[in-house]
Structure 1
């Protein structure tokens, strides 16, 4: 029997990665926007789950444990939403530990490079993080804003932190097929986040390999997706009977995205829950 209620937003971030609100505050924000089932999907960490679950229980909401696992294909980032995984799965934990370590090393190197030309030091960047969060480019962006070098995160990413710039350092991440295998191996359901953005669709041969590895579906309702790519992926989802999600990708004040601006249909949430074996939703 279905024990959750919509509307459902399955992609939100807290200060445990690159959001600006605590996990409890993210859940409260979602509730204010009328959401009743939500997932916390911080990058490469499950450290906000307990706080989020406690908050949703007090608000009468359903919590879907999640994570956004970093992956990379050639030059581009691929984000794999990992729902209802076993957070103690050894292989997945080893990978997220490696990614977070790389993220920290990368941030230090970028900070060193930037400090040669701008008044910015490592303490400025750490001051923009919360306890337990891995320092990343969004925190460098926030430090640049605080120092008055840019107006906001968007300007920082378009200029000083741009991949085309002299300060940029690449992040280690597994290939998408490996990422999907890790998620499914941990009992979770893998969904590709915002798969139809400006970078274009991944090659169909790669998507076929991800499907063979257990890919569950695609996040088709997202503000970064472009309609031509969405049409192609929607046909694929119908042909292969895949899960289709819609989400806000809320980051607090870090992005203009608002909770519930895109949502996931109840039947798709139910399919996601029934498919997972790694962990369970937390019902109110």
Structure 2
């Protein structure tokens, strides 16, 4: 069974509508795929309808953008939570509002040096989508400033750029607690992806585990091999679920569906721990 538990549609920063994401998963030979858009469950219904039609199982999920007190970014995957849980909804709404405000301020700064305005960016944002830097990157590509998203992120949109603006994000320990309260299963996404920026220390892992962290995403292209060894030992010592995923974004990233996979046993454990919603079959 081929299971990929991390994929994005254009409800956040993927390039394909939810139904097309399911089409791509079927074409890639997946039996199970998770839709995990940033801070949004807006693609669940469309993806579910297409998944039932194509006979592929769908794991409804979400990727929550978090930040520690020390300023380190953490991405938390939430699987099978109740999308209407008030505590989690309130926190996600704060993050979405902050993302929008941050994007507008970044565009204001960029417009001083590049032929870019908010209307240019809006053209790359699907209705109701969570706005993020990838949409700004797409507008920069369309304007001929950069060749692709990757170039935009390594130059103009890097956190070290003068155009960078921070935004509100919940502490990862709080996010883990809220996911559990919503009946979901929290899994730390690409936890040792040092190429993306600073990574958390062992104390943060311990605090997240104490709060209810269920698993760690180990097989991911951005986790270095030495980091994977650390994560495997951490998972063994703490009885954590181990997952593997593509982190697919359509044409927005080179990641391909199914390039890393999760075991059927891990998915069964995720289902066993969940009480918010169910896998769509």
Cα distance, 1:76 vs structure 2:
2.3
User: Superposition RMSD on alpha carbons, in Å?
Assistant: 0.9
CA distances 1:142-182 after superposition (whole Å, capped 9, x unpaired): 00000000111011111111110111001210111011111
TM-score, scaled to structure 2: 0.97
Is this contact kept in 2: 1:201–1:229, CA < 8 A? no
Counterpart of 2:219 (choices 212, 218, 221) is: 221
Cα distance, 1:42 vs structure 2:
0.0
Counterpart of 1:126 (choices 122, 125, 145) is: 122
Q: How far apart, CA to CA, are the structure 1 residues paired with 2:38 and 2:134?
A: 12
How do 1:145-156 and structure 2 match up within 5 A?
145-156=141-152
Q: How far apart, CA to CA, are the structure 2 residues paired with 1:106 and 1:200?
A: 20
Cα distance, 1:278 vs structure 2:
0.7
Q: How far apart, CA to CA, are the structure 2 residues paired with 1:85 and 1:52?
A: 16
CA distances 1:83-138 after superposition (whole Å, capped 9, x unpaired): 00000000000011000000000000000000011111110000011111132110
Determine the structure 2 residue equivalent to 1:109: 105
Q: How far apart, CA to CA, are the structure 2 residues paired with 1:9 and 1:207?
A: 23
Is this contact kept in 1: 2:138–2:149, CA < 8 A? yes
Cα distance, 1:200 vs structure 2:
6.1
Cα distance, 1:251 vs structure 2:
0.1
Judge which range, 118-127 or 203-212, deviates more: 203-212
Is this contact kept in 1: 2:190–2:220, CA < 8 A? yes
Matched, 1:258 2:256: yes
Matched, 1:164 2:154: no
CA distances 1:13-66 after superposition (whole Å, capped 9, x unpaired): 000000000001011101101001111000000000000101110111111110
Q: Which stretches of structure 1, 4 residues or more, deviate above 6 A after TM superposition?
A: none
Gaps of 5+ in 1: 1-5
TM-score, scaled to structure 1: 0.96
